[in-house]
Amino acid sequence: MILGLETSCDETAAALVTDDARIVSNVVSSQAELHARYGGVVPEIASRRHLELVVPVVREALTEADASLDDVTRVAVTRGPGLIGALLVGLSAAKAIAWARRLPLIAVDHLHGHVASLFLEPDAAEPPFLCLLASGGHTLLLDVRDHSGFRVLGTTLDDAAGEAFDKGARLLGLGYPGGAEIDRLAREGDAEAYDFPVARVPGLDFSFSGLKTALLYKVRELPPEELATRRADLAASYQRAIVTALLGRTSEAAKQIGAERIAVVGGVAANSELRVGLPGAFLAPLPLCTDNAAMIASAGRFLEGIPYPRYLALDAYASLAA
């Protein structure tokens, strides 16, 4: 079995996955309530909380699987991108476990992990396919030709889709995480009430900063009493603009590369309107949309491990450019 660890943002996660893609355990401890008072993730607070949780979460994953470290053949861990302090906690824990057991360590790119969430049983998807990866920190269109990686076709020029949801929720006075709050409120509103802009940028890239600014101006225009009555309409219209941008670019990319199948992963993949808008697509199961360690272990199945003890000098990276 592969022991996976994930600490790239505000979820402390550990999982055990078999070589034949079966999830034996998948434990996630979310910090959402801890960061809700700030309206977003505070990196220093997240890192300190990971320090408190990483060992208990690993123990819980082993208990849930009725296993011990004797059953683990290798350790997979998120190396980046993400919050550097948070990543270092998971990477240090993974190094310690692998070193103590003389096991190989597999360094996994977080984005590859999201794609690899589709390779797990009971409904594993097989490449090739076009993948829309939309989360709080990333929005990408990926050409997935095999299990070991992907080619980036388009990305966001500014905010990620999930970030746009969170910032929009803050403008509307909603809670955190913003995507779930807007999705919930949007069901009560009229998505045609406001005509928010959908950016058209060159190639297959995305842009959400103009949309966020449009919502800001609209919120400022409305008197407090009217804002309270129109909040659901604003949420529905704002969500419709984000989803329209995602669907439009995904359709263009599919035509450009001749993709016959489309997949969607990442936290935004849990959005109800996006899921309805892509009938027939491979959709990551809801428990695997947000950050988790099963997806990291899944990616580890297709990557070469670093043998003991060469990984002790391995470092994390915060951004895609690293």
pLDDT digits (tens, 9 = 90+) for 217-239: 999 999 999 999 999 999 999 99
Q: What is the mean pLDDT of residues 83-107?
A: 98
Side-chain-facing half-sphere of 109: CA atoms under 13 Å = 13
Amino acid letter, residue 105: L
Q: What is the mean pLDDT of residues 4-33?
A: 95
Per-residue pLDDT at 322: 46
For residue 321, being part of any structural domain is answered with: no
For residue 320, being part of any structural domain is answered with: no
**Number of domains, the chain:** 2
Per-residue pLDDT at 227: 94
For residue 228, being part of any structural domain is answered with: yes
For residue 268, being part of any structural domain is answered with: yes
The answer on 237 and 221 residing in a single domain is yes
Q: Which of 100, 160, 138, 112 is nearest to 6 (CA)?
A: 112
Q: Which of 1, 28, 72, 54 is nearest to 288 (CA)?
A: 28
Per-residue pLDDT at 35: 85
Q: What angle do CA 317, 31, 163 make, to 5 degrees?
A: 60
The answer on 274 and 248 residing in a single domain is yes
The answer on 205 and 188 residing in a single domain is yes
Residue where the block lists tokens 């103009």: 210
Cβ 234 vs Cβ 184: under 8 Å: no
Q: What is the mean pLDDT of residues 301-319?
A: 96
Report the chain's mean pLDDT, rounded to a whole number: 95
The answer on 226 and 84 residing in a single domain is no
Residue where the block lists tokens 């011990």: 68
User: Residue 214 has which token pair?
Assistant: 């449009």
pLDDT higher than threshold 50 for residue 301: yes
Q: Render pLDDT for 53-87 as a digit per residue (tens, 0 to 9).
A: 999 999 999 999 999 999 999 999 999 999 999 99
Q: Please state, in angstroms and as integers, the Cα–Cα distance from residue 217 to each residue in 168, 221, 287, following that order.
A: 12, 6, 35
Q: Please state, in angstroms and as integers, the Cα–Cα distance from residue 98 to each residue in 169, 297, 311, following that order.
A: 41, 14, 9
Per-residue pLDDT at 321: 52
Q: Render pLDDT for 32-45 as a digit per residue (tens, 0 to 9).
A: 888 888 877 899 99
DSSP conformation class of 28: E
Q: Which of 305, 322, 321, 290 is nearest to 113 (CA)?
A: 290
Per-residue pLDDT at 136: 86
The answer on 170 and 89 residing in a single domain is no
pLDDT higher than threshold 90 for residue 127: yes
For residue 170, being part of any structural domain is answered with: yes
The answer on 134 and 243 residing in a single domain is yes
pLDDT higher than threshold 60 for residue 259: yes
- pLDDT band, very low/low/confident/very high, at 162 (cuts 50, 70, 90): very high
d(CA 24, CA 18): 7
Q: Which of 84, 156, 130, 154 is nearest to 265 (CA)?
A: 130
**Whole-prediction pTM value?**
0.94
The answer on 269 and 142 residing in a single domain is yes
d(CA 44, CA 70): 34
The answer on 263 and 150 residing in a single domain is yes
Residue where the block lists tokens 């049983």: 121
For residue 319, being part of any structural domain is answered with: no
Q: Render pLDDT for 185-210 as a digit per residue (tens, 0 to 9).
A: 999 999 999 999 999 898 999 999 99
The answer on 52 and 27 residing in a single domain is yes
**Segment among 77-86, 137-146, 171-180 with least mean pLDDT:** 171-180
What are the start-end ranges of the H helices in 66-177? Answer: 84-101, 110-116, 161-171
CATH (domain of 299): 3.30.420.40
Cβ 77 vs Cβ 90: under 8 Å: yes
Cβ 143 vs Cβ 153: under 8 Å: yes
Q: What percentage of the chain exceeds 90 in pLDDT?
A: 91
The answer on 242 and 137 residing in a single domain is yes
User: Residue 50 has which token pair?
Assistant: 């990971």
pLDDT higher than threshold 60 for residue 150: yes
Per-residue pLDDT at 40: 79
Residue-number span of the structural domain to which 94 is assigned: 2-123+289-313
